[in-house]
Chain A
């Protein structure tokens, strides 16, 4: 593993810091009344965008650790969301590894499948475990706004944080 550059490690540390910052932001007590809609799950966008672009910046263990911490701090059933996201991001990484040039539409289609997959699996498993499920409208609103927010996250990581796929010619 000595072919991992200094840069990669910086990005990995950056991912963890960004993840913790996102959790802290969501914990701010600004919204104490129930909402009928829900904002995007920025963490999900971050993990998926980086998994598709630079799988080496978001190793499985780091994703698992950050999302598990999020699960615990945000009062979610611990482990469920983390397991699903690790699984889905692994699938996205395998897409990234094939090395084909991605179009934005293709990418958004994949993300849509991924986000809806996480939503359906969450509801299915919660139902199987006889746990109460979050209200469908709010849950769906969150998935929708996550998909809409995704391009913003993708462009931000590409142009601001410089997370871009390695081109074939460079390797």
Chain B
């Protein structure tokens, strides 16, 4: 028995090597399959998330709540300053509200004159943010609404004020929102008031790049950036943020949506969206969008 021992161990270690080799090979095959046929694998990923997330919700929800309470508690320290600041802002807001009301009335009169019909199809569903991407390299959140609530790929997700991202990946009970800050996110936008077309490109920083502007001389820091609706990507006119110039002289957008606290998101129903059968193409559509941008002037 004692003499047999080394041989047996040798045999085992060879078997282990073989097993490790087979496992690594299998994993590499998974990676290659994902690279070649990503929609199928991405659907599988969404299915897996769909299974995993609701079953872990009983842990996720209280933990998130507890962490937020702690964060809130920290903010009590600056309560007085905050209160003062809020009062000042409220005062400003009141004057804005007055202006807005007057404009609204004027707008209503003008619409009435034009007999204009507002798009009644653009309504929204609210979802609760259940999880984030969990990785420092990707920026996305998972909502607790999915295909059973009628969510479709490509719809816009907003917080109360501005655009947050778009749906890419819908499971039965969950859906993933790719945030504007994600490196894969590219949104066609238009800069007001110059009406210059641009692309808002996420690069994993808090202020996405504004790229592919035809004439950068016409735009200034502080200009409003809204979605353009080019190529059927997102409905036009959704507020993204304000143009800023970073220290390197590159144009970026300061997002209007409050990314610090994403708790509830509104997903805009938009049945005019081109049916996207291939969620991965929503993500990696750099070439696609570039050609679309290039083709745009010819179309007009």
Residues of A at under 8 Å CB distance from B?
Answer: 23-39, 60-61, 64, 68-69, 72-80, 82-83, 86-87, 90, 97, 129, 131-132, 134-135, 138-139, 142
Contact = CB atoms under 8 A, between A and B. Distances in A.
A33 B132 CA distance: 10
Contact of A72 (B48, B137, B203): B48
Interface of B: 13, 16-17, 19-20, 23-24, 26-32, 34-35, 41, 44-45, 48-49, 52-53, 56, 59-60, 63-64, 67-68, 129-142, 179, 181, 183-184, 203-206, 259-262, 284
Contacts, number: 141
B31 A26 contact: no
A74 B135 contact: yes
B24 A68 contact: no
A132 B184 CA distance: 9
A78 B31 contact: yes
A11 B59 CA distance: 23
Q: Which 3 A-B pairs have the closest CB atoms?
A: A79-B30, A79-B31, A83-B27
A29 B35 contact: no
Given A27-B53, A28-B60, 13 more contacts: A26-B135, A27-B142, A33-B259, A60-B16, A75-B45, A75-B134, A76-B138, A78-B31, A83-B27, A86-B23, A86-B24, A132-B184, A139-B137
Contacts of B259: 32-33
Contacts of A72: 44-45, 48-49
A73 B48 contact: yes
A79 B184 contact: no
Contacts of B133: 74-75
A132 B183 contact: yes
Contacts of B34: 77-79
A26 B53 CA distance: 12
A27 B132 contact: yes
Contact of B136 (A25, A38, A73, A131): A38
